[in-house]
């Protein structure tokens, strides 16, 4: 079958993809195969952290919700979840998984970038964890993302955020009975030296071995953000550090913070 053409008879390029679009249906399989007990521990630890702070029945916005690793179990606890995810295929996986729940759960979804999210001051808690912030790759996007997260929260609302350490940005190979995965993470040699942090390209080739053979490739930019930069920008939008949980999450190689939205937030 030939490629679609426009009215001038020229081939129409395929629509751009988001990170993980091409392998959303395999995302859980790949992460469980590669990180197994560590990822299960991280999920449980994050859920417990939220449970210690979120009031009963709280409204929670999960930025970068992915396939629902946090959104679905939090909804089981009776929280009202709004799952925000830029990848349509990833969000479709979340919706399909939530539909299979034995009891109805309260999850709404929105396909949008963090920085494009329009906050309305209606959420008690916001989540930006599991390396979500590395997909924000410019200072204007970072500022817009932090403002959007602040705008989403009620005064006194809480943001749980993680900031991966530089050690996360290293290439690796994983060979398990389910997958063979090669991840190359290379520093961008053309990045502006005046930008804070460090830009990288994430390039992945993976062969799914089970439950049946499938191969995919994904490539996209990511960025390491120094915690002091994120904290400075966050404070400009009324988000104040109230607890550093990094020592509790040391196996995750990330900085973990609770930030609180102040009552009087700069516009």
Closest CA to 146 of 109, 117, 122: 117
Residue 183, in any domain of the structure: no
Residue 108, in any domain of the structure: yes
Residue 14, in any domain of the structure: no
Phi, psi values for residue 97, rounded to 5°: -65, -40
pLDDT per position as a tens digit, 29-70: 999 999 999 999 999 999 999 999 999 999 999 999 999 999
> Computed over its alpha carbons, how large is the radius of gyration of the chain?
19
Which residues form the domain of 152?
21-166+224-261
Residue 97, in any domain of the structure: yes
pLDDT per position as a tens digit, 129-160: 999 999 999 999 999 999 999 999 999 999 99
Residue 189, in any domain of the structure: no
Residue 65, in any domain of the structure: yes
Domain count, the chain: 1
pTM of structure: 0.91
Residue 7, in any domain of the structure: no
Residue 237, in any domain of the structure: yes
Tell me, what's the pLDDT at 212?
87
CATH number, domain containing residue 243: 3.40.50.150
């Amino acid at each position: 079958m030939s490629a679609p053409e426009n009215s001038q008879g020229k081939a129409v390029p395929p629509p751009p993809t988001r990170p993980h679009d091409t392998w959303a249906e395999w995302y859980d399989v790949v992460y469980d195969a590669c990180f197994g007990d560590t990822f299960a521990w991280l999920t449980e630890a994050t859920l417990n952290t939220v449970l210690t702070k979120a009031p009963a029945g709280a409204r929670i916005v999960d930025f970068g919700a992915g396939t629902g690793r946090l959104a679905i179990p939090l909804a089981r606890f009776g929280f009202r979840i709004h799952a925000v995810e830029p990848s349509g295929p990833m969000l479709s996986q979340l919706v399909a998984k939530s539909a299979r729940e034995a009891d109805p759960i309260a999850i709404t979804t929105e396909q949008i970038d963090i920085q494009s999210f329009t906050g309305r001051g209606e959420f008690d808690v916001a989540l930006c964890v599991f390396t979500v912030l590395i997909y924000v790759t410019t200072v204007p996007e970072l500022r817009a993302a932090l403002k959007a997260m602040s705008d989403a929260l009620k005064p006194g609302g809480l943001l749980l955020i993680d900031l991966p350490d530089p050690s996360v940005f290293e290439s690796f190979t994983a060979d398990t009975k389910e997958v063979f995965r090669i991840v190359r993470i290379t520093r961008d040699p053309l990045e502006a030296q005046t930008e804070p942090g460090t830009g990288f390209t994430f390039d992945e080739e993976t062969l799914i071995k089970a439950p049946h053979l499938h191969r995919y490739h994904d490539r996209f930019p990511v960025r390491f953000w120094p915690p002091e930069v994120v904290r400075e920008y966050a404070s400009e939008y009324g988000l104040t550090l109230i607890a550093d949980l990094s020592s509790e999450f040391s196996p995750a190689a990330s900085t973990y913070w609770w930030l609180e939205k102040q009552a009087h937030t700069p516009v």
